[in-house]
Structure formats: structure tokens, C-alpha cells
Structure 1
Amino acid sequence: MVKSRASRGILLTSNLPQLQNLIKRDPEGYKEEFLTQYNHYLSLLKLQQVSSVTSTSTNSTTDKSNELFGDLITFISQVAQCYPVETKELPLQLKGLLLGAEGGQTVKGDLRRTVVKNLVMLRNKEIIDSIELLQILLPLLPQVPSALRGVIRHTILTDIKTSNQKTKNHRLNRVVQSLLFGMVESGMGAEVVGDKGKGKGKEKGGEAMWAVMMVKELWKKGVWNDAKTVSIVALAAFHPNTKVQSAALHFFLGSDNEDAEDTDSDEEDIREARRGVKKMEHRMEVGKSGRKKEKMLAQMKRETNKKRAKHAAGLGHTPNFPALELLHDPQTFGEKLYDNLHKHDKIYSLDHKILIMQLLSRVMGTHKLCVLGFYSYIIKYLTYHQLQVTLILVSLAQSVHELTPPDVLTPVIRKLAQEFVHPGVGAEVIAAGLNAIREVCRRQPWCMEEDLLSDLIEYRKSKDKGVVTASRGLLQLFREVNPGMLKKRERGKAASMGLIGSQVLAYGHSKDAAEGIEGLELLEEHFAQMRKEANGGEFDDNSDVEMGVDEDDEQGWENWDVNSESGSESSGWEDVSSGEEDLEISDSDDEEDRKRDRKEKKLKKKGKAVVKNEDEEDSDSEDEKDDGDEDVDMDDDAKSTVSAATTAVSQDTKKLSLLAQQKILTPADFALLNELRLKAAKSLAESGGGSGAKRKLAALEASKRHVDADESERFLTEAEILGPRKKVKATWEERMELVQKGREGREKFGSLKGKKKKETPSSSTNREKARNKPIMMALHSNKVMQKKKASLRDKQIKLRAAIDKQKKLKH
């Protein structure tokens, strides 16, 4: 018995997993064994700190001690919840091993991975909180190799996402955002090297790069969406490291596919997967097919579909509108962007400068900023032979808005016309120049000169479709915004009629405030039709009142502004009353007046006379009673005059809808309103409403597409600058896709002789095909021609072989 106990103790000291299991079952019974192992761990910890400073031990000894030390760390972390007092210093000790403490060096290799995993385990057991864990893991990102970095990155993202899943963990978010802000700010004082020429290896900014990547991931997952998150990336947009700066610019531009090599590699992987599927399908058709091959083929198809879906999800990213709108002090941000672009013009590459131009133009267009130096800077890039000139033209057009001074844009328009619109360049160049001029003038029409405009619209007589479309678009734009700049014969019918009595808004002037919701009467009619169908096709007198739309209330509110202005002249709220009597306004009086108005209208409809109240009859003066007939005539004339004026006012101004006064419109109501407006515009265009109705229909359809695409076309694209072009030759994948679409819904192409006309389906042999071949084709076949050209020796060899074959068959 004593021998078994001794052997059991030796086994427990050497077998840590078994001791760990026993401690979890009975912590108090095995406390001495735990303390023994814990003391061993402390001694190895001190040796590790000493060895990291001196570095005199051999590699074999170090590997063995690190392996034992890692096992002890895992053991202590697994049972730390059983002895919280003894292991209270464990997190600080592990932190010192990873980040270094008291001048000591950090651990490397597998031991570092073990320490990280045990720290995550302590967080899962709630021995440490998320803040302590992330304060340790975040600084490790730029220091560890790629394999361990992926584990740390996934751990950080998962922890933050889990902490903010139910409610926002503001304390954790503030701490992590402060850490990321510090990581970005740490390298802001370095020298700008640039991304072209020599000296790329001197750039330093690993911490800032990983901070931006973490922010982008959390923003993409929807965990962080506040202004402080945007401020971290806004600071990184001015980092000396061009890679960090490029990552921040791509965040605001909404594009994650920054490396073209990664995109190309993904497409190549998809092609390879498709080829593998095709090979497997061919093998199954030619050779034997079994369950194993079918399972392999199904697995390959699933993996190919996943790759295709993932690649498609990564393309066509939309601009990050909320990030642009959450910028703090966008004017200062835009000016700093321009200063950075202008100052380091010779250091940055063209691709990087175009990225800065794109972000600056979007910030200027979104917040209506005026960075006037940008237009003088961009002029030198406005040449048709400039690389990526379409992106530069897009940036130019996006930066313009209605508050941009026209004097600054006029030289830009002249430069575009001189470089892009002349007979010495191709048709695509002219179309791009006209489209760029149109987009600039759409946002600020006063930058165009009358003589230049007349020259540009003459290109609508060109033979190229793209040039004609671009020139007509420019002509149509000025027919709408400022037809006075066009000649009389070029204004068109609608513009000539609308020009009379109308004035174009000058620079700095804005349109009048909206008087209501456009098309709301369509929604009101739709609700009225629904009530009619609900009542069996008949209207009820009280149905409108019950549904919240009362005709009497509508007439009572129709001329409220005219009645208020018909009284005595007043300059403020104090002169409303006449001064003789105090006004007493109460809700009960209003209700009584409305009820009386409804009752009087119903009596008028039935043909009954309306009897005035005795109080109103007593209030008339004695002089008015004597000249009653004349006063009646005068009252009738006045009434007719007022009614005529009221009719004119009601025709000129839009009638106020009771639906907007009595009902709060929901998003579903607005969606229904958009559908009704689109339907009404279609019916008007089909019934001969003219070009104006067609343009309105096109605008409504375009707005519907923008909303459905989550505002993916809020900013300009290269396609809008290039305009319509000739159809480009399709790639091999596109042609094969069209071929597959044409084969849908039909049987496989081929002869049915050996497949359906036999009892056992099979294909015909080559000998059968040779028998049915036409004689003229058989005479010129390769087999016959070889016989004719064969030498005597070849004929002897073939004849001898045939004789030998016949002899063998006989025997």
C-alpha cells in the first residue's frame, strides 16, 4: 500500500494533465501538489528572466526548459480559478513575458504562442477582463509572425464584437480606441519617404497599419460606427508611411481591394477551380463513375461556388458615406489633404496622388467645402494623354458644388475644352471632355461662357454616337438650368416657353423652401380608393372624417393665410388684437366653430336655408338695416370677387394636403408614394406627355435604382465620364456564359441514333460511321490516301500481316 501511494505521488508530479483533472474535482485535497508545481513554475520564471538577459544557455537546454515551462504555464492557467489567491499575480507575469518587464526581453517561438493562448483562456474564465487582455494583445500585432498574428487578430475582433453584441460597451470601446489612436500617433513625427523611387525600406509604421486595419474590420462588421472611430482613420490619412496613408484613404473611399495582385490571384484560383470541376465531369462521363467520384465532384462544386461568391462580394464596394459625414471639422481636414498633396507632389506616385484627389473631392462635394487651390493644382493633370485621366476628371467634377466660385472654374472649363474637345483627338477623348464639362456645369452652371457653350453644342452633329450623346446632354442641361445662354433656335420648345417670366438664380442664391411633399395627392387618392373598395364601392359621408381626411376641414384651412393678411397691417405679434377687446382662444371654441361649419354645409347640400344666429343679427348697425338691399348687392359682389381671387390663388399655389397634417407618414408610406409617382410618370409618358414627362420618368427610375443599390451611385464613376461606347469584345468567360445560357432548356446536342433508337442506349462505332460516309469524302480520307501512296514494301508487309492473322484465326 505504501509503495502504491509513493508511485501515485510520482505519477502525479510527472503527469500534469491527470493532476489538473484531480485538482478540478477536489481543490483542497490536492493543494500541496499544486503548490509544488507552482513553486517549480516560479523558479523557471526567474530562470527565464535571467536567461533572457544573459543569453548564455545552449539551445538544447533552452528548448527543454521552454517546453517544461510552457507545460507548467498551461497547468497553472487551467486550475487558476481553483486557487485565486495564490495565482493573483499570474496575469502580470504572463504580460511581462510577452511585453517585457524590468528590462527583460520577451519570449519567442512556441513559448510565446503558449502564453497568448493561456491569456485568452484566462479571459474566457473571466479571471481577467477584456480591457486587460486587449492592452496586452494589441501591441503584439506588429511584433509576432503571421501565424500567431492571425490568432491574435481573430481574438481581438471576436472579443470586441462579443462585448458590444447586446449593448455598447462604452468603457471597453474608449480604452481600445485610445490604444489604437496612440498606435497611429506614435509614428506621426517621422519623415515622409514616399512610395516611388528609392528609400521604401526606410518606412516605419507597422503599429499604425495594424491599427487602421483593426478599425476597418470593426467598422465593416458594424461594431464601431461613431465619430471617434472615424477620427482615428482621419489621423492616419496624414501618416508619413504611404502604406498607412493609403489604407486610411481606401477606408473613406469604401474600397477594400487595395492590392490588384490579391484580386488577380483570387480570379486565377477561381479559374483553376472551374478547370478542376470540368476535368472531373469529363472523367465521370468517359470512365466509370461511382459514389466516391460523385461526392468529390459535389465538394469541388461547393468550394468553387464559395470562392465565386466571396470574390463577387469583394468587388464593387460603395463609398463610405457615413464615415465622410462623421468627419470632425471637414474644412480643416480638406485643407490638410490639399497641403499634403501639394507639398509632397514630387514624392508621391501618381496612383497615390489620385487617391488623395478622390478623397478630397468627395469631402468637398459632401460638405460643400471651398479649397480653391485644388483647381489650380489639378489643371496640370488635365491632358488627354495623362495616365488615369478619367479618375482625375471624376475627382474634378465631384469637388464642384453650387457654392464653388465660378471664377475659379472658368479656367478649368477652358483647359478641358482646349485639351479634350478639338478635331485633333479621337472621338472617345472628345466624349470624355464633353461629359466632364457637363458634370461640372451641372453643379455650377455659371462657370460656362456663352461663346464656348455655342462651340461645344455644335458637336451634336458629329458622326460618333458618344460625342453626339455628350453634346446633346450638355445642350439639354443648359435648356433646363440657364436657357438664356443658348441661341433662340437652340432653346427648344419647353425652354422657350419657360424662359418667359422666369429668372435664373444667381450665384449664391438658393431656391425657395419646399411647400409640401411632391406627389402626396397621389397617396391621398390611393387611400380614398382603398376606403371606397372597403365600403363596397360607395362613399360614406362620414368616412372621410373617420379616416382623418375631412373635406370641411380642408376648406376651412384652404385660405387661412389670405384671411390672416386681410386684417389690419401689423408688424408683430403684439398688434394681432384690435385693442378694444381681448381675444379669448380655446379649444372648445374651435370645436364649436368646426361643428357649426359642418352643419351649415350639410344644410346647404340638402337645399335648406341657413338661419343666422340672433347674436349675429343684433350686432348689425341701424344704418345697415336701412340700406339692406344695396348692402346685399355689394356683399354679393364682394363675395364673387373674393371667390375669384381665392380660385386664382388655389390654382397658383399647391393645395395643402390634410394627409400630411393629420397623419405621420411612415417609411412604408414613402415607399408607396415613390411607387405611385413612378406609376403616374409612366402613364403620363405613355399618353404623350412629351420630353419633359420622359425626363421626369428617367429621373424617378434613376433615383429608385440609387435607393435600391444603397446609394452606390451617389458619386460619379468613370463610366459616366466616358459615356456610351462601342461594345467591347467579350472575354472567353463571357462568351462561354452566353453559350451556356443558350443551351438552357434543351436536350444535349448530338445524334440520337445510338441513344434512343436502340433497346440498350449506346453510341455508334467508328466502323458504322465509316460505312455511312459519302463516297466522295471517303475517297479523300486519310486512310484511302495512305493506301494509294503506300510503297510496294509497305504493301507486302501489310499483306503478310493479314495472311498471318487469318491463319491464326483458322487454328
Structure 2
Amino acid sequence: MGRHNNQLPDNLPQLQNLIKRDPESYREEFLQQYSHFQSTLEVFRLTPGEFNKSLDESLMFLAQVAHCYADDLKGYPQEIVEILKAHNTILDNNMRMTFCKTLILLRNKDLLQPTALLSLFFELLRCRDKALRKFLQNHIITDIKNINSKHKNAKVNTTLQNFMFTMFKDSNERAAKMSADIMIELYKKNIWNDAKTVNVIATGCFSRTIKVVVTCLKFFLGSDPEDENNSDDSDSEDEPNYKEVMMANKVNKKSKKRDKQLKKVKQLFVKSKKKKSNAPVFNFSALHLIYDPQGFAEKLFKRHKQINSRFEIKLMTLDVISRLIGLHDLFLFNFYPYIQRFLQPHQREVTKLLQFIAQASHELVPPEHLEPVLKTLVNNFVSERNSADVMAIGLNAVREICSRCPLVMNEDLLRDLAQYKNYKDRSVMMAARSLIGLFRNTMPDLLHKKDRGRPTEATIAIEPLKYGQSKAKDFIPGADVLLKELNSDDDDFEIDSDASDDDDQWIDVDHDDDNDNNDDDKEDKEDNDEEDEDDDKKKKVRSAGKPLKRLKKEKRTKLDRKKEKAMKLASKKVEKKEELTAETKAKAAQVSIEKILTDEDFKRIDSELVKRQMTNAKRGVKRPLPEETRGELVKLGDIENIYKKKKHDKQSRMESVKDGRDDREKFGYKDGRQNPFCSKTNREKKKTKAFQMIKHKNRSKVKRSFKDKQISLRNHLIKQKKMK
């Protein structure tokens, strides 16, 4: 036993194990090791830049047993903190890592306050040690996550956020960049997702360090929803088919390996189910939390014009500015003429610039500020001197701008663009038709009559909004169907009802043939009566002997009667439309006020709205047009949407060509030799030789031998003889 105790000072892992089991019995050994640590530390202070193995082992030993002798090691954590503060830049990398691990162990045992440790670690991010910086970043994120696991610790969070704000202005690029990464990671993990964190990150967009600026701009841009969808699809492909695995487990032989596999599949299935049930993440929540979006956008745009940075960084800055303008309905009028200068088909990344101008469009932008941009876009893109793809992209961009600011479009320009609906190229044709479809649902009066389509009950109720006018309603659209349902017991308001029911229930506003015929009969009758009266007047005038010229002037022509008839018909239609919409609004308002709507009522209202979109629709229209909704983000695919056959680029065509050559023989010279590896003739070798080696043989007429001359002469004479 005595021999065993004598070995303990040299065997620290064994002593550590014994102390954790019975601290009081091994107190003397611990004090001996602590005194040894003190003496070793004094030696280390003389040469802090060198690695000390004895100190390295003592540090980890004391950190492991510190909770057993908390009273004796009160000053131990602070002593290590002071060493790191004093010698952090000159310490050996391994020794610095050991000091940090020691402090983390003490923090995990609640022997050190989180603010003191995290503040020190933020300062250590200045060190030129990539492994240490990564290690500290992971610990800082994990520690703050654990602090806020049960409830938000506002006091600690405020202290650390204030310290982080000072680190953003640090002269050391690595420390500032790492601080930005930590705050962004904490935001993504929903630990620090408050407005203060977002606005601290927003200050990083004006940093002198380009890396910090790029990191903060990427944070505000977020991730593209299309990319997220693609990643979800790729994950779903890797997910196992739960039913197939269960069926295979029933049929196949039972084994421990198969049971493990089945458990793993069940876990993956539950995990994927949870992922699908999660609520969708709001894409621009960070931009929503900025305190002063107008000031932030103006400062960012001013900095963008002053600093000469890389093109990619400029694009990112313009993207953030355009999202801010569209999201918060900001006024930044200098932004539009700035981008207008770059709207050329040959401009690099021009589709992204078109996306930015569409994102920065909203209903409160005065149309006179966007009209020059729209005209430049149409003149430079939508012209037959350009390719069909460029024209389609231009029309798509016009559509995206007009979907957010419809007042920017004028009647003449829209009718000119609508004429491309019959263009020879499919992509241009579809882009023009999508533009027509947009204005059918927003401002149909701007379109030519033939482009408005057959009016439906939904389109006749459209009221074009003026500048600054809101779409607020004091009723639920379509709620009037519930009032009809209360008045009638039969169920005639489903989408799949018979045509006879539709004739009884719905009013055809523009195509009422019977009424038109009646109106025609009335007009003809009135015209005949007027003609009879004129004849009577003529007879009286003749009897009096007066001239007929004045009466001929008063007589109406056939063209005048047609014009009057058209005006009366149009006024009747307008009155009928106003009466219909006013009556519908009154009924809907009555139901919205008097009744508490249930889920079934809302389903009935939705079916009613769909039916109104389909009523009087053209034959062949199989589904209603989707309701126009303005998203916060303009998808780049909507602008680059070119209708072409899939796999029609050069690379895919070459791949298909190569696939067609698989069964063919190798292209090249084919000789009739049975053995392909036999020697070649001099004539074949001559083809592979350099020209300098054989050019003297090609000069056949210069130095011919006597025999060659004889042969050529003989051939010439034979040829002459044959010709005779």
C-alpha cells in the first residue's frame, strides 16, 4: 500500500480518479500537487513562450478535481485568466489551448462566471491560431445556448451583446469577422433573435473590413427559397421508404443486423416527419427588425457609390437595398436612375439587376420615377433587333415591375407590348401573354378590348386603384353567398353544379343577347316613329310651299342612330355593373357584420370566389387564374423564365450526339489487314512524317530519273494514240 501511495505523485490520472471517489482521504496528495503547480507556474512566467509539459499536466489535473476542493482553489480560475490576458499573443499554441480547455472545464463546473470567460475568449479571437479560434467559436456558441436553454438570461445577453458591438469596431480583422460569425450563428439557432442583435449585425455592413461587410450582407440576404426547396427534395430522396422496409422485414429472415437497421429506419422516419411538420421559416425576418430601414438603406446606398469594391459585393449591396425598399415601402428615388444606366442586354449579371429593380418597386413609388426605367427597359430589351431570349427576359421584367407598381404602365405602351402575343418565338409569346393576364386582373381598361378576355363576375368587380389608394374592405369578399344560402334550401352553389342552375343564379353582364335584341327592337321602333313624324312634317311643309332643306338637316343619319344606340347600351351596362357590385358588397357586408363565420362558411366562400372567376369563362379554360399576390422576393427564375425544350443547350446536345455513337465503329482510316499490329507500308508511314522530311520527294518533276522519263513518255504516247 505504501508503495502504491509513493507512485501517486507521478501517476496523475490514477490520483485524479481516487480524489473524485474520496476527496478527504487524498487531501495531502492534492495539496502536494497544488504546491508543485505553483512552483512550476513561477518557472513558466520567466519563459512564457515555451511549452512546459509539467505545467500542462498540472493544469488539466487541477481543473478535473477543482470541484472537490473549491475553497482551496478559489483564486485558481482568476490566476489562469490573468495569465491569458497578459501573455495571450506570445504563448505557445499548445499551452494556450490547454489554458483555454482548463477554463472551459472550470466553467462547466460553475466555478467561473460566463461573462468573464466569454469576454476573455472574445479577446483571444485576435490570436493567429486558426484551430484555437474555431475551438473558441464553438464553445462561445454552445455556452450561450446553454445559458438561454431554460429561459432567456437578459442580463448576460445584454453584457455580451455590448461587448460584441465593440468587437465589430476592432482593428483586428479576424476578431471582427469571428464576432460577426458568432452573432449570425446565434441568430440562426434562435438564441439571439431579437432586434438588438440584428441591428448590431447591421452596423457590420459599414465596417472597414471587407470580410465583415460580406458576412453581414449575406446574413441579410438569407437563403434562397428555391435552394431550400431543392435541399429539402434532395433530403427526401435519401429518406428510406418506411413501408418497403417494414414489408421486407416481415418477409426476410430475422437477424440482429436487420433489427438494428429497422430501428434506424424508424428513427429517420420520425425525424423526417418532424421536419415536414415544422412551420416554414420567414425569409426576411432579419430585415423586419431593423430600427431605421430608411436611414439604413440611404447610408448603404451612399457607401455603395463611394467605395470601389468588387462587382459581386456591389451586387449584394444593391440586393439588400432593393429588398429594404420593397419590404418597407421606402422612398429612395436615386436608386432607380442609378440602375437604369446598367440596363443593357450585354451587361454582366443583367438579370439580377432586373430582379433588383422589380424588388424595389412598390405601389407608393410615384410612377414618374419608374417610367424612365420602364421605357429604357423596353427600348433596350423588347426590340426585334435582339434575340428572342432577351425579348422574353425584358417582358418578364416588365411584368414583375407592373405587378408591384401597376400605375407605371400607360395604355399605349401596354397595347404595343400586347401585340407580341402572336410572336413567332414561343418564349416571347408566353411572356407577352403573361403580361396581358396580369393586367386582366388589375387594370383591364388599359388593354385593347380583344385582349381583355370574356368578362367574369370577378373581373367586372375590379376597381383600378389610384396612387396612394388602399385596398381595405369592410366586408369579406364572397360572403354574400351565405345570405343566398339562408334564403334558399336547395344546394345550388357548388362548383360542379349544372348549367341550368348557373343560368338561374348568375347574371351575364356583357353578353345578354335577349336584352340586346329587345334594345334593338325598341330603337328600331323609335326610329320608325321618328321617320313617320318627319313624313307628316314634310307633307305640311309642302302644303305651305316652304323649302325642305332645313328639315333634311334635322334628320338623323343611320350612323348617328348607331352611335346613340352604342352609347345607351354602354351606359346601361355600366349602370347594371354598378348595381350588381353595390348589391353584392351590401350583402357581403351584412353577412360579415351579423354572422360569426365557421370553417365551413369559409370553404363555401372560397368555392364561391372560384366560381365567380369561372363564370362566363371562355370554352377551354380549365382552371381560374390565380389571385395576384405580391411576394416580398422577386424570384430570379420568374425573370429568366424562357419557354424552351429541356436539355437544349450545347453541352446536352453534345452528350446526346456522343450517346448515339456508342454502337458505331471508331471513326478513321480502315485498312484491310487481318493483323492490325503488323508493320505499315512506306506509303502509310509517309502520312505521319513531318513535311520537312518528305518535301524533297514531292518535287517529282525536278530530278526525274531516265526510267521515270521513259515511263511518262510512254504513257503520253499511249494517251495520244487513244485520242486519235
Task: Give the Cα–Cα distance (whole angstroms) in 1 for the partners of residues 464 and 613 of structure 2.
Answer: 27
Q: Please tell me whether residue 216 in structure 1 is matched to residue 177 in structure 2.
A: no
Task: Give the Cα–Cα distance (whole angstroms) in 1 for the partners of residues 334 and 610 of structure 2.
Answer: 45
Q: Please tell me whether residue 508 in structure 1 is matched to residue 441 in structure 2.
A: no
2:206 to 238, 248, 272: 238
1:371 to 332, 340, 362: 332
Residue 483 of structure 1 and its aligned partner are, at CA, apart by 3.9
**Distance change in 2, residues 1:320/1:493 (3 Å):** closer
Q: One-letter code of the match for 1:320?
A: N
Q: Report matched runs for 1:592-631 at 5 Å.
A: none
The CA deviation string for residues 337-367 of structure 1, in whole angstroms up to 9 with x for no partner, is 11111112xx222211111111111110110
Q: One-letter code of the match for 1:362?
A: R
Q: Please tell me whether residue 417 in structure 1 is matched to residue 386 in structure 2.
A: no
Task: Give the Cα–Cα distance (whole angstroms) in 1 for the partners of residues 620 and 416 of structure 2.
Answer: 29
**Distance change in 2, residues 1:674/1:396 (3 Å):** farther
Task: Give the Cα–Cα distance (whole angstroms) in 1 for the partners of residues 376 and 677 of structure 2.
Answer: 75
Q: Report matched runs for 1:50-449 at 5 Å.
A: 50-52=46-48, 62-63=50-51, 66-98=52-84, 100-101=85-86, 106-143=90-127, 145-187=129-171, 205-255=173-223, 320-344=283-307, 347-449=308-410
Residue 118 of structure 1 and its aligned partner are, at CA, apart by 1.8
**Distance change in 2, residues 1:10/1:425 (3 Å):** same
Residue 77 of structure 1 and its aligned partner are, at CA, apart by 1.1
Residue 10 of structure 1 and its aligned partner are, at CA, apart by 3.3
Q: Secondary structure at the match of 1:653?
A: helix
* More displaced stretch, 375-384 vs 125-134: 125-134
Conserved? CA contact 1:361–1:398, under 8 Å: yes
**Distance change in 2, residues 1:786/1:21 (3 Å):** same
Residue 170 of structure 1 and its aligned partner are, at CA, apart by 1.6
Task: Give the Cα–Cα distance (whole angstroms) in 1 for the partners of residues 412 and 187 of structure 2.
Answer: 50
Conserved? CA contact 1:685–1:693, under 8 Å: no
Conserved? CA contact 1:70–1:111, under 8 Å: yes
Q: Using CA pairs below 8 Å that are at least 6 residues apart, which structure has the higher relative contact order? A: 2
Residue 424 of structure 1 and its aligned partner are, at CA, apart by 1.0
Residue 496 of structure 1 and its aligned partner are, at CA, apart by 13
**Distance change in 2, residues 1:496/1:155 (3 Å):** closer
**Distance change in 2, residues 1:11/1:502 (3 Å):** closer
Partner of 1:723: 641
**Distance change in 2, residues 1:336/1:648 (3 Å):** closer
**Distance change in 2, residues 1:117/1:664 (3 Å):** farther
**Distance change in 2, residues 1:516/1:412 (3 Å):** same
Conserved? CA contact 2:202–2:216, under 8 Å: yes
Residue 18 of structure 1 and its aligned partner are, at CA, apart by 2.5
Task: Give the Cα–Cα distance (whole angstroms) in 2 for the partners of residues 24 and 160 of structure 1.
Answer: 28
Task: Give the Cα–Cα distance (whole angstroms) in 1 for the partners of residues 484 and 343 of structure 2.
Answer: 53
Q: Secondary structure at the match of 1:252?
A: helix
Residue 723 of structure 1 and its aligned partner are, at CA, apart by 2.5
Conserved? CA contact 2:480–2:584, under 8 Å: no
Conserved? CA contact 2:456–2:613, under 8 Å: no
Residue 435 of structure 1 and its aligned partner are, at CA, apart by 1.4
Q: Secondary structure at the match of 1:48?
A: helix
Task: Give the Cα–Cα distance (whole angstroms) in 2 for the partners of residues 469 and 8 of structure 1.
Answer: 89
Task: Give the Cα–Cα distance (whole angstroms) in 2 for the partners of residues 402 and 116 of structure 1.
Answer: 56
Q: One-letter code of the match for 1:653?
A: A
Task: Give the Cα–Cα distance (whole angstroms) in 2 for the partners of residues 248 and 160 of structure 1.
Answer: 21
Task: Give the Cα–Cα distance (whole angstroms) in 1 for the partners of residues 383 and 281 of structure 2.
Answer: 35
Q: One-letter code of the match for 2:211?
A: K
Conserved? CA contact 2:420–2:432, under 8 Å: yes
The CA deviation string for residues 637-691 of structure 1, in whole angstroms up to 9 with x for no partner, is xxxxxxxxx99976551344668767597xxx4xx777655555566667x5416
Q: One-letter code of the match for 2:43?
A: L
Task: Give the Cα–Cα distance (whole angstroms) in 2 for the partners of residues 524 and 218 of structure 1.
Answer: 53
Residue 135 of structure 1 and its aligned partner are, at CA, apart by 2.0
Q: Report matched runs for 1:680-691 at 5 Å.
A: 680=608, 689-690=616-617
**Distance change in 2, residues 1:179/1:205 (3 Å):** same
Residue 97 of structure 1 and its aligned partner are, at CA, apart by 3.1
**Distance change in 2, residues 1:72/1:651 (3 Å):** closer
Task: Give the Cα–Cα distance (whole angstroms) in 2 for the partners of residues 507 and 488 of structure 1.
Answer: 24
TM-score (norm 1): 0.58
Task: Give the Cα–Cα distance (whole angstroms) in 1 for the partners of residues 113 and 437 of structure 2.
Answer: 64
**Distance change in 2, residues 1:496/1:9 (3 Å):** closer
Conserved? CA contact 1:441–1:448, under 8 Å: yes
Q: One-letter code of the match for 1:67?
A: K
**Distance change in 2, residues 1:215/1:481 (3 Å):** same
Task: Give the Cα–Cα distance (whole angstroms) in 1 for the partners of residues 581 and 625 of structure 2.
Answer: 32
Q: Secondary structure at the match of 1:225?
A: coil
Q: One-letter code of the match for 1:78?
A: Q
Partner of 2:31: 35
Partner of 1:544: none
Residue 469 of structure 1 and its aligned partner are, at CA, apart by 1.8
**Distance change in 2, residues 1:786/1:715 (3 Å):** same
**Identity over aligned pairs, percent:** 34
The CA deviation string for residues 107-147 of structure 1, in whole angstroms up to 9 with x for no partner, is 22222222222222112211123333322223333526343
Residue 504 of structure 1 and its aligned partner are, at CA, apart by 3.7
**Distance change in 2, residues 1:337/1:134 (3 Å):** same
Task: Give the Cα–Cα distance (whole angstroms) in 1 for the partners of residues 646 and 451 of structure 2.
Answer: 34
The CA deviation string for residues 197-225 of structure 1, in whole angstroms up to 9 with x for no partner, is xxxxxxx6222211221122222222222
1:45 to 18, 41, 47: 41
Q: Secondary structure at the match of 1:13?
A: coil
Q: One-letter code of the match for 1:91?
A: P
Task: Give the Cα–Cα distance (whole angstroms) in 1 for the partners of residues 36 and 676 of structure 2.
Answer: 96
Task: Give the Cα–Cα distance (whole angstroms) in 2 for the partners of residues 731 and 648 of structure 1.
Answer: 51
**Distance change in 2, residues 1:650/1:96 (3 Å):** same
Q: One-letter code of the match for 2:640?
A: L
**Distance change in 2, residues 1:114/1:651 (3 Å):** closer
2:421 to 428, 449, 460: 460
Q: Secondary structure at the match of 2:45?
A: helix
Q: Please tell me whether residue 699 in structure 1 is matched to residue 626 in structure 2.
A: yes
Partner of 2:576: none
Residue 239 of structure 1 and its aligned partner are, at CA, apart by 1.5
Task: Give the Cα–Cα distance (whole angstroms) in 2 for the partners of residues 788 and 157 of structure 1.
Answer: 70
Partner of 1:478: 439
Q: One-letter code of the match for 1:47?
A: V
**Distance change in 2, residues 1:450/1:162 (3 Å):** same
Partner of 2:587: 654
Q: Report matched runs for 1:494-505 at 5 Å.
A: 494=455, 504-505=464-465
Conserved? CA contact 2:427–2:643, under 8 Å: yes
**Distance change in 2, residues 1:38/1:375 (3 Å):** same
Conserved? CA contact 1:519–1:673, under 8 Å: no
Root-mean-square deviation (CA), in Å?
4.6
TM-score (norm 2): 0.64
Task: Give the Cα–Cα distance (whole angstroms) in 2 for the partners of residues 528 and 654 of structure 1.
Answer: 12
Residue 393 of structure 1 and its aligned partner are, at CA, apart by 0.3
Residue 517 of structure 1 and its aligned partner are, at CA, apart by 3.2
**Distance change in 2, residues 1:695/1:399 (3 Å):** farther
Conserved? CA contact 1:252–1:320, under 8 Å: no
Conserved? CA contact 2:418–2:433, under 8 Å: yes
Count the aligned residue pairs.
Answer: 534
**Distance change in 2, residues 1:167/1:523 (3 Å):** farther
**Distance change in 2, residues 1:789/1:392 (3 Å):** closer
**Distance change in 2, residues 1:244/1:696 (3 Å):** farther
**Distance change in 2, residues 1:446/1:135 (3 Å):** same
